[in-house]
Structure 1
C-alpha cells in the first residue's frame, strides 16, 4: 500500500494553472513548476507525469473550474440578452483585473501553437467549441424569450460574439486598453444582439464593474 500524498492535487493544479497561464507552455520549465507548486520534481512526475501530462491535467482543470464559472453567467439573467450582457461584463472585469494571467489559457495555448499532441489539441478544441455552443444557445434563448430581435440569426450572432471574445483574449496578452475593450464589447453587442423592443433593453450595461 503506497503512502498517502502530503499535498492536495487541486491546490497543485491551481498553482500550475496560474503559472502556465502567465508564462505559457513553452515558457514554463520543470524548475518553474517545482518553485510554483512547492513539490520536488520526483513528486510531480509521480503524481502527474511529465510536463506535457501535467499541462493536459491543467487544461482539464481550467475547463472544469475556470471556464465553467465563466459560462455560468450565460445560464443566469432574467433573459438571454441579460445573460450575454452579464457574461461580457465578467469577461471585461476579469481581463482588467488579471493582467498577470492575461487572456484565456485555451486561446493562449492555441496561439502559442504548442498543442501538437492529439489529446492536448482535443482539450483546447473542446473548450473553444463549448464556449461557442453556449453563446449560440444563449442568443437563441434571447430570441425565444423576446429580449433579442427575432430578425437575428442565433448561429451567426453567436459566431460573431465568439470572434469578439477571441479578439479580447488575444489583445489581453499585449495589455488592454479599458476604453478600447469596452467600446468593442458594446459595439458588437448592439450590432449582433439588438433588443427586441425598448422595454427589453437591459437596465444594466457593460461598464467593467457592474451589470
Structure 2
C-alpha cells in the first residue's frame, strides 16, 4: 500500500511510480474485469477521487499499467535478442532468461499482455494495438538474432520467418501454460524450446556451417564421384 501524499522532500513522481507498480501487480493478478474500484483503493491506499484525478478512468489506469508492464517486465526479456551481437549465444541467453522467469513465483500469473489478449478477445481496439506492437517487437528481435546466427554460420541458411513464428508461438504457449496452474507444464515447454533450438544448430553443423573445415553442399555435388 502507498500513502495518499508523498513524504517530506519526496517528489510526487515517486508516489506515482509506486501506485503504477501496484496497479500492474493488481491487474496482472486479477485481469481487467476482475479488478474493482475497491481493489484499486485497497491496493494503492488512494481514494476514488485521488485515483481518478491523478490517472483518469479504470480503463486509463489499466492502459498505464499495461504500458509499464511491457516496458519494465516483458521488454527486459528481449534484451539479449535486441541488443546482442553473438547470434546463437544471444538466442540461448534469451531462452535461459525465459526459463528463469518461468521458474519464479511471479510467472504464475502468466503475462499481463497475453492474459489481456485472451480476456478481451479483440473487443478493445487499444488492446489489439498493444498486442500487435508486442508481437511485432518480438518478431523483430527474434528475426535480428536468428539472422545474426545465420550470418555466423550457426544456423542453416533458410527462411527466418517460420523460425520466428515458432518462437513466438512457444512464448505465447508458455504464458498460457503458466496461468493454467498445471504442474511442470512450463518446464516441459521450456525444455521443448531448448531442444528445437539445438536441432536448428545441429542442422547447421550437419552442413558444415560454423566449421571452417567444411562447406555447404553446392548444386552439382550430389551424384558427383567422391
Give TM class, smaller chain: 0.7 to 0.9
Are 2:199 and 1:156 aligned? no
Alignment of 1:73-84 (within 5 A): 73-77=80-84, 79-84=86-91
Root-mean-square deviation (CA), in Å? 2.5
Q: Do the aligned residues in 2 keep the contact of 1:79 with 1:142 (CA within 8 Å)?
A: yes
Partners of 1:33 and 1:193 lie apart in 2 by 48
Q: TM-score, normalised by structure 2?
A: 0.77
Structure 1: unaligned runs, 5 residues or longer:
202-211
Instruction: Return closer, same or farther for 1:119/1:75 CA change in 2, 3 Å cut-off.
Output: closer
Higher relative contact order (CA 8 A, sep 6+): 1
Q: How much does 1:74 deviate?
A: 1.4
* Match of residue 98 from structure 1: 105
* Match of residue 190 from structure 2: 182
Partners of 2:49 and 2:122 lie apart in 1 by 25
Q: TM-score, normalised by structure 1?
A: 0.82
Q: How much does 1:92 deviate?
A: 1.5
Q: Deviations over 1:17-43 (max 9, x none)?
A: 111111111111111111111211111
Q: Do the aligned residues in 2 keep the contact of 1:143 with 1:149 (CA within 8 Å)?
A: yes
Higher Rg: 2
Structure 2: unaligned runs, 5 residues or longer:
1-10, 212-226
* Match of residue 130 from structure 1: 137
